[in-house]
Structure 1
Amino acid sequence: MSENFALTIQNMKKKQLAMEIKKCNEITMKYGVTLSDTQIENLINKRSEDLQGIDFINEYLTRLLFENKFCNNFEKEKIIGILNSYCKDYKGLLINIFEPVLTNVIGLDLVEADIFELEMKSYEREVLLYTFKNMTIKEIEEELIKAANNVCNKLKIVNNFEVNYVKMTALNLLPRIEEGIKNNNLANIFLSYKIEEDKLEDIFVDNKSMDDERLRKLIDEIRVCRFTSDKITIIHNEVKSLEDLVEILNNCIWEDEVEELVNSLSKEEIEALKYYLNNKLNDNISNTGWEQKFIEVISNF
């Protein structure tokens, strides 16, 4: 094959790819995301070195079209809310809409929430962080695969390529989750709407846990309180993470004090504790027996 002929073929492939990307552009326009001709050219040139004939083009476009089909399962306004949290200037940048959407969908499935809500509340993110901290990396990997399968079932995704693509994208979250566990923060992975985040005032959501010495001193301080109201005041003033709250409940809040505590908590905080109890490890047994009483109290709400 002559060099000129090879260049002609490559240029034809580029033009075909550009035309197909522009078709996909028509779909993404409803989210306010479009690619300029220059961005499309840069995207194609960036990939040209690895271009291996029509097979590459077909696979690339198959992925792109599936990503758009996946996003079409969710309301436009909710996707835009996630994109605003992902990047304020998302309309002017070359970003992948699919990745932040799928990431939140996977996270919501992991906490057994409604995936069609798309937004991950901060208390849901906190219980997910707590859950991850009590897992090995292998266990987290297995949970991601399980969540990917659940999502495919809920969205009726049955094509092998598409199912595997969802799994692959979910597993790509693992390094970010590992880093999030180290930093005690998943806020940059599983996203909430920015407006809602500014309004949140939960006492134990998305904050760093205390060091062991400080937590032990706080437990000792709460234990000697004569009145339940004093215990609750200290909890509201000092406890900033789900992990610390559970440890204090395990050691300081007795069955006859649970109802008063529950009445002082927000809906989000109650939901976080409920999720914790539904998924807690068997070896994490309290000294106070608060768990069963908590379930009884919230069942009467």
Structure 2
Amino acid sequence: MSKIATSIENALKLNTLSKVFITSINPDLEPKIHFESSVKMDDEEYRRLIEELLRCRYSSDKLELIKEKVKSFDDLEDILLDAQLEEEEFVSLFNTLGDVEIAAMIRRHPFESDVQAVDLSEAEQVVRLYLENYIKQLPTNRQKQILQIANHLVGD
């Protein structure tokens, strides 16, 4: 038996064929995660929610209100930009999100970006900073998982 045939036979037994045959990777064939937000609330309802959030004294009340009223990712993103939340309130909200939603936030507000802070509104800078701080405090394996998801998101 030839050396190559022996290598193939051993690789089959050990389930290591990928080490015998080198295959090129086509980045277009990587799995994609499709993310779409649901319908946003109407402007009047949103304006009333923002006014109510700005009047709230307690973070717990703000978070309850957001959980109760906000049903779309786009509305949540708008809330983060408009409601003047404190960093702890951002963290509490981020803690209620799954990895895909956090990855979508990173795609929309990348903290590693060519877009300079001076080109962003103050609210966008705040979201970017708090998001980056939140990601950095997560366990390394979860950070990697979220960033990998962000790299595969389409349609955001």
With the length of structure 1 as denominator, give the TM-score of the two structures.
0.31
Distance verdict in 2 for CA 1:221–1:287, change over 3 Å:
farther
- Give the alignment of 1:20-35 within 5 angstroms: none
One-letter amino acid matched to 2:109:
L
Q: Secondary structure at the match of 2:39?
A: coil
- Give the alignment of 1:226-245 within 5 angstroms: 226-245=57-76
Number of aligned residue pairs:
107
Q: Which has the higher contact order (CA 8 A, sep 6+)?
A: 2
Equivalent residue number for residue 218 of structure 1: 49
Shift of residue 213, structure 1, vs aligned partner: 1.4
Cα shift readout 1:167-201 (whole Å, capped 9, x = no counterpart):
xxxxxxxxxxxxxxxxxxxxxxxxxxxxxxxxxxx
Shift of residue 227, structure 1, vs aligned partner: 2.0
Distance of 1:295 and 1:283 partners within structure 2: 15
One-letter amino acid matched to 2:101:
E
1:121 to 29, 34, 41: 34
Shift of residue 236, structure 1, vs aligned partner: 2.0
Distance of 1:234 and 1:267 partners within structure 2: 22
2:129 to 292, 295, 298: 292
Shift of residue 208, structure 1, vs aligned partner: 0.8
Equivalent residue number for residue 21 of structure 2: none
Shift of residue 255, structure 1, vs aligned partner: 2.2
1:275 to 90, 97, 107: 107
The structure richer in helix per residue is: 1
Distance of 1:232 and 1:266 partners within structure 2: 16
Structure 2: state its 5+ residue gaps.
1-24, 139-156
Contact 1:210 1:244 in 2 (8 A): yes
Shift of residue 241, structure 1, vs aligned partner: 2.5
Contact 1:207 1:240 in 2 (8 A): yes
Shift of residue 219, structure 1, vs aligned partner: 0.7
Distance of 2:68 and 2:89 partners within structure 1: 18
The structure that has the greater radius of gyration is: 1
Equivalent residue number for residue 207 of structure 1: 38
Structure 1: state its 5+ residue gaps.
1-72, 75-104, 106-114, 127-205
For the aligned residue pairs, the C-alpha RMSD in angstroms reads 2.8
